[in-house]
Amino acid sequence: MVGMLNKRYEFDGKPTLKLNKLQLKNKKLVEDKINSKEYTFEKVNCVICNGSDFELLAEKDRYGLYVPTVICKKCGLLQTNPRMNQESYNKFYDSNYRRLYEGGENEENIASFFNKQVSHGESILMLIERESK
């Protein structure tokens, strides 16, 4: 069977997005934390069917970080595997994610993004409440 990994998604460390200086700096910080084992990874079974047979689809994310995306051969769920363990995810989302994702680091940008997310969540909740009556 020919693998499903397209050459475009092989891990080469190159982002598919144009990153600004802050994003590049934070990408390097994440890579350093991965290399120093501050961020650690774990292999897991499929969260849906508990299967352990996967096909690799991609080795990197849009930032050029090593993020293997696989498809479960039993149920078809796409997932990251191996993935960061919970402690590493907590550190990543507390320290690096927003600066990498948004490309900004001031508190005003972060607060604005948070407020937009709260507003979006409230509109989804209103839709669900309205449609479930």
Using only C-alpha atoms, the chain has a radius of gyration, in whole angstroms, of 18
- Mean pLDDT of the region 12-20: 91
Under the banding of pLDDT at 50, 70 and 90, the label for residue 107 is low
Q: Is residue 76, in this structure, part of any structural domain at all?
A: yes
Q: Domain span at residue 29? A: 7-102
Q: What is the mean pLDDT of the chain?
A: 89
What are the pLDDT digits (tens) for 75-105?
A: 999 999 999 999 999 999 998 888 888 876 6
Under the banding of pLDDT at 50, 70 and 90, the label for residue 133 is confident
Under the banding of pLDDT at 50, 70 and 90, the label for residue 1 is very low
Q: Is residue 14, in this structure, part of any structural domain at all?
A: yes
How many folded domains does the chain comprise?
A: 1
Q: Would strands 78-80 and 83-84 be described as parallel, antiparallel, or unpaired?
A: unpaired
What are the pLDDT digits (tens) for 23-55?
A: 999 999 999 999 999 999 999 999 999 999 999
DSSP 30-74: HHHHHHTTSS-EE----TTT----EEEEEEE-TTS-EEEEEEETT
Q: Is residue 84, in this structure, part of any structural domain at all?
A: yes
Q: Is residue 85, in this structure, part of any structural domain at all?
A: yes
pTM assigned to the model: 0.70
Q: Is residue 63, in this structure, part of any structural domain at all?
A: yes
Q: Is residue 116, in this structure, part of any structural domain at all?
A: no
DSSP 7-33: GGGS--S--SSPP-HHHHHHHHHHHHH
Give the count of beta carbons closer than 10 Å to the beta carbon of residue 46: 20
